[in-house]
Amino acid sequence: MSTQPLRDFLISFNIAGYASGNESMWTKELDGSTSINFEKEEFKAHDNFFGGEPYGGREVVFFNSKPSWMMVYYGFVSQLADKNEVYKALRNALMNQPKDFPVRGPKEIEFEGLIYKNDWKGDLERFSGKETISKDGIIIYEANYQGGLVDIKK
C-alpha cells in the first residue's frame, strides 16, 4: 500500500477523532475503555484507550477491511497541572499535525502559554516518538508512542 492515501486518511481521522473534542463520536465500552471510530472511502480507523490519568491506547487503521497500520501510546499529566488545560493544548497540537507525518502534533507549538513539543524517529511505515507539554519550563505532560505498517508480508 502506498503511504500517501494512508497519510491523507490519517489527517482526516485525526481532525475528526480525539483532537476534535467531539465526545458524541466516542463509545464507552463494557471494559471501561473508550473507542472512537471513523470511516472514509476504503479506510476505517479504530482508536481505543483507557484513562483518565494516566492513559494508554492504540489506533488501528484498516484498508479494505484488513488491518494495515497501527500505533500504541501511553501518557500522563503531572499532578501539579490542570488536566483540562493540558488536554486542550494537546487537542490544539493534534489539530496542527504535520502533513508529512500526521501521527501526533508538530515539532513544537505554543497554545495559551503551554509549549507542546514532539520528537519522533522514522516515518509512517515504522516510527517511535515522545511528546511533552510544558508550562513555565516545567514538563506537565508526557506521552510515548510507536507504530507503523502491519501485516504487509505474506
pLDDT tens string for the chain (154 positions)?
578 999 999 999 998 888 887 888 899 999 999 999 999 999 999 999 998 889 999 999 999 999 999 999 999 999 989 999 999 999 999 999 999 999 999 999 999 999 999 999 999 999 999 999 999 999 999 999 999 999 877 6
Query: What is the pLDDT at residue 51?
Result: 87
Cβ-in-10-Å burial (0-12, 13-18, 19+) of 18 comes to buried
At residue 149, the 3 state secondary structure works out as strand
Do the Cβ atoms of 109 and 88 come closer than 8 Å? no
What is residue 19's predicted lDDT score, i.e. its pLDDT?
84
**Residue 69 forms beta bridges with which residues?**
61, 149
* Domain map (residue ranges) of the chain: 3-149
- Give residue for cell 499535525: 97
The secondary element (H helix, E strand) that includes residue 95 is helix 83-95
Give pLDDT, residue 1. Answer: 58
d(CA 122, CA 128): 7
Residue 66 contacts by C-beta under 8 Å, 6 or more apart in sequence? 151
CA distance 147 to 136: 31
Distance between CA atoms of 142 and 13, rounded to whole angstroms? 22
Q: What is the pLDDT of residue 52?
A: 81
**Element containing residue 29 per DSSP (H, E):** none
